[in-house]
Amino acid sequence: MKRVVFGLALAALVAAAPASAQTLNTVKSRGSLNCGSNGTLAGFGLPDSQGRWTGLDVDLCKAIAAAIFNDPNKVKFVPLTAKDRFTALQSGEVDLLARNTTWSMSRDTSLGLNFTGVNYYDGQGFIVRKALKVNSALELNDAAVCVQQGTTTELNLADYFRANKMKLKTVTFATADEALKAYDASRCDSYTTDASGLAGERLRLANTDDHVILPEIISKEPLGPAVRHGDDQWFDIVKWTHFAMVNAEELGITKANVDDMAKSENPDVKRLLGTEGKYGEALGLTNDWAVRIIKHVGNYGEVFEKNVGQGSPLKIARGLNALWNKGGLQYAPPVR
């Protein structure tokens, strides 16, 4: 917190505002990408015991590093709390924020940052003890709810209870970790966060089977990476890294078959993989940028299944995050 505030003060007072189109150069000359990450959320951003970071958001940062350096490990992950994350991005401490951050209008307009897209469609849910015999969030009148500070969750919670004329006792903590611990110690009747988070956090509770996630999803939480205002080239790179992964899944290009697919005659595949046209150079990268992403990190579906889907302990279904032609919302503009 102090570090971030100091950084912002320094940036605001001393440095000139970042000129446009310099983030890519800064990252290249530094030799690594600074990625603002979660650090405590399984499936999205969490270092393991050896310090290796994993997660959906982590893989997005790795994909960007792969596109720039042809090396997915040239990323420095900066763990941020929900409260400090925007200040860290504004002050230039991180190059992008990939920290399961909800895209909302006020954040997009008044915080000086831009969301590049949605890499996970989420919604807010509640977890309660089975012993309470609660079947719906609408039965939570007068309940105490633990929540993390500085999140849209905090606001949705208050809105939902107000809209349904229910009384609420909020207990607010600086980090998700402390909020979850307090819930586990029975300080609150319920803990609320994004449904994806609940799936992961439930596994960290003392007796996993004593808790149940309520069916209500009370909000829209489009989670996506964000960058600072004023650098359109960098905005494009982050945006198209995600699109490349979605397009790759749609075209059936995987980590395993990307080299074979490079010989494909399908014009869509050829354009994405850079064997036709100069789309990568237009981004300020090399033409094989998408090959690097897919080879080192994988397509969107692979990354999803590995981190939050069937290949992970969370076992979250694709749901809204399936491709658009499979009943979901993940849709990428064509490479053309």
Partner 1 sequence: MTTLEPGAVTTPPKPPLIYNPKVRGIAYQAVLCIIIALLAWAAVNNAAENLARAKIASGFGFWENTAGFDISQTLIDYTTTSTYGRAFWVGLLNTLLVAALGIVFATILGFIVGIGRLSKNWLVAKICGGYVEIIRNIPLLLQLLFWYNAVLKALPGIRESIAIPGGGFLNNRGVFLPQPLFQPAARWTLLAFGVGIVAAFVYRTWARRRQMQTGQQAPVLWVTLGLVIGWPLVVFAASGFPVQFDFPEAGRFNIRGGVEILPEFMALLFGLVIYTAAFIAEVVRAGILSVVKGQTEAAYSLGLRPGPTLRLVVVPQAMRVIVPPLTNQYLNLTKNSSLAVAIGYPDLVQIFAGTVLNQTGQAVEVIAITMAVYLAISLVTSGLMNLYNRRISLVER
Stretch that binds partner 1, among 53-61, 69-77, 140-148, 211-219 (CB under 8 A): 140-148
Stretch that binds partner 1, among 42-50, 227-235, 272-280, 322-330 (CB under 8 A): 227-235
Comparing CB distances to partner 1, the nearer of 112 and 328 is 112
| Residue span 185-214 as binding mask against partner 1, x where in contact by CB under 8 A, dash where not | xxx-x-------------------------
d(CA 171, CA 184): 13
Q: Which of 280, 205, 203 is nearest to 243 (CA)?
A: 280
SS3 253: coil
Comparing CB distances to partner 1, the nearer of 18 and 79 is 18
216 binds partner 1 (CB under 8 A): no
**Judging by beta carbons within 10 Å of its beta carbon (0-12, 13-18, 19+), is residue 288 exposed, middle or buried?**
middle
Comparing CB distances to partner 1, the nearer of 19 and 50 is 19
d(CA 319, CA 142): 32
Q: Which residue has the tokens 């440095």?
A: 15
Stretch that binds partner 1, among 168-176, 235-243, 294-302, 306-314 (CB under 8 A): 168-176
Please say whether the beta carbons of 270 and 264 come within 8 A.
yes
Calculated CA dihedral for residues 19, 21, 38, 145, nearest 10 degrees: 60
Residues 6+ apart with CB under 8 A from 18: 92, 228, 230, 231
Residue 264 Rama label (left phi>0; alpha psi -120 to 50; beta): beta
Shortest distance, CB of residue 264 to partner 1, whole angstroms?
43
21 binds partner 1 (CB under 8 A): no
Comparing CB distances to partner 1, the nearer of 182 and 316 is 182
331 binds partner 1 (CB under 8 A): no
Stretch that binds partner 1, among 43-51, 102-110, 209-217, 284-292 (CB under 8 A): 102-110
Please say whether the beta carbons of 7 and 1 come within 8 A.
no
| Residue span 230-269 as binding mask against partner 1, x where in contact by CB under 8 A, dash where not | x---------------------------------------
315 binds partner 1 (CB under 8 A): no
d(CA 236, CA 284): 10
**Judging by beta carbons within 10 Å of its beta carbon (0-12, 13-18, 19+), is residue 171 exposed, middle or buried?**
middle
Contacting residue, 182, 244, 290, 294, with partner 1 by CB under 8 A: 182
Comparing CB distances to partner 1, the nearer of 105 and 336 is 105
Comparing CB distances to partner 1, the nearer of 184 and 302 is 184
Comparing CB distances to partner 1, the nearer of 63 and 140 is 140
Residues 6+ apart with CB under 8 A from 261: 251, 252, 253, 269, 273
Shortest distance, CB of residue 197 to partner 1, whole angstroms?
17
Contacting residue, 22, 26, 47, 112, with partner 1 by CB under 8 A: 112
Shortest distance, CB of residue 90 to partner 1, whole angstroms?
6
Work out whether the CA dihedral 93, 42, 66, 51 comes out positive or negative.
Answer: positive
Shortest distance, CB of residue 149 to partner 1, whole angstroms?
5
**β-strand 124-129 against 211-213: which pairing, if any?**
antiparallel
Residues 274-303, interacting with partner 1 (CB under 8 A): none
Summarize as ranges the residues that interact with partner 1 (CB under 8 A): 5, 8-9, 11-18, 82-83, 86-87, 90, 106-107, 109-112, 132, 140-144, 149-150, 154-155, 157-159, 161-162, 168-174, 178-179, 182, 185-187, 189, 228-230
